[in-house]
Amino acid sequence: MAVDTSPRSTTWTHVDGEWLPGNPPLIGPTSHAMWLGSTVFDGARWFDGIAPDLDLHCQRINRSALAMGLKPVKSAEEIAALAWEGVGKFDGATAIYIKPMYWGEHGSPGSIVSVDAESTRFALCLFEAPMGGHGGTSLTVSPYRRPSPETAMTEAKTGSLYPNSGRMIAEARNRGFDNALVRDLNGNVVETASSNVFLVRDGVVMTPAANRTFLAGITRARVIGLLRKAGFDVVEATLSVEDFLAADEIFTTGNYSKVVGVTRLDDRSLQQGPVTRKALELYMDWAHGRSESEE
């Protein structure tokens, strides 16, 4: 029986100069991206008539393309303009995920494995995806690790990194948790399987220092800046599992749900405390233009 390839929510994709509904067939069995993984993407959000930091997401997709050996074929400004054009195709009742993508169609001359930058293709996919996660999430320490820059393409937001995240989440859910707290090859906590992570202890906010083993996200940087501007002491540091187990609060940041409190870490229960709530409030106030812009 054939698999239903239709998307699970309303979806529009811009490719080769036109908008196509649904899930258009863009990659074939001989495409480099299909069998050798030369894909990069980014993700912004539209909700309540706004698309926070859309420009930064559009800039990052081009940096990811270069890191993958691809050739950006759209400027960040062109991608952002297309995103707003695409938003207009929806009814505005549901939040939208904005996903620009590049991939390679062919291997480079003389090598099947290395991608041919001149064969780079671009698509911009928008689909309905409600905002969620604000009821809290649970974490367990994953047995799997994040790779180092010497062992994987960690400088790019690439689809090839996500099977590792997927197995982290699957393993965590098999043990009754929503997501996983993830370490690098040295045993230091770096993020969750799908978002950046913060802890609060004695009023000090801490987050793993960017060490090139994980994506130090755009929402992470925005929240750090907003908290510091509001007077919080925010420290980027090398952190252990024990640091998180001793925390007063833990929360995550990411484009998909922005700021989410952690209510359980392994055997320890936590509350969505005042700093977590303040971080979400500050972000939403900034996003809706209710506070002074944070550069």
Residue 294 in domain: no
- Quote the strand ranges of the chain, DSSP E: 11-15, 18-21, 39-41, 44-46, 96-104, 120-128, 137-145, 179-183, 189-192, 196-201, 204-208, 234-237, 249-254, 258-265, 268-269
Supply the CATH number for residue 81's domain. 3.30.470.10
Same domain, 119 and 175: no
Q: Which pLDDT does position 259 carry in this prediction? A: 97
Residue 5 in domain: no
Same domain, 154 and 249: yes
Residue 197 in domain: yes
Residue 193 in domain: yes
Same domain, 95 and 238: no
pLDDT one digit per residue (tens) for the chain, 295 residues: 899 999 999 999 999 999 999 999 999 999 999 999 999 999 999 999 999 999 999 999 999 999 999 999 999 999 999 999 999 999 999 999 999 999 999 999 999 999 999 999 999 999 999 998 778 999 999 999 999 999 999 999 999 999 999 999 999 999 999 999 999 999 999 999 999 999 999 999 999 999 999 999 999 999 999 999 999 999 999 999 999 999 999 999 999 999 999 999 999 999 999 999 999 999 999 999 986 544 4
Angle at 266 between CA 264 and CA 272, to 5 degrees: 15
Strands 137-145 and 249-254: unpaired
Same domain, 95 and 234: no
Question: Last residue of a domain, which of 108, 128, 148?
Answer: 128
Residue 295 in domain: no
Same domain, 112 and 215: no
State how many domains the chain has: 2
Residue 262 in domain: yes
Residue 48 in domain: yes
Same domain, 49 and 161: no
Q: Which of 211, 218, 230 is closest to 279 using CA atoms?
A: 230
Same domain, 60 and 89: yes
Question: Last residue of a domain, which of 100, 128, 156?
Answer: 128
Q: Which pLDDT does position 135 carry in this prediction? A: 83
Q: Which of 114, 127, 136, 156 is closest to 249 using CA atoms?
A: 136
Same domain, 117 and 229: no
Same domain, 79 and 55: yes
105 near 121, Cβ under 8 Å?
yes
Same domain, 210 and 240: yes
Same domain, 109 and 204: no
**CA–CA distance, 56 with 74 (Å, rounded to integer):** 14
Domain range enclosing 15: 11-128
Question: Last residue of a domain, which of 73, 103, 128?
Answer: 128
Same domain, 159 and 272: yes
Residue 293 in domain: no
Supply the CATH number for residue 224's domain. 3.20.10.10
Number of other CB atoms surrounding residue 93 within 10 Å? 8
Q: Which pLDDT does position 295 carry in this prediction? A: 42
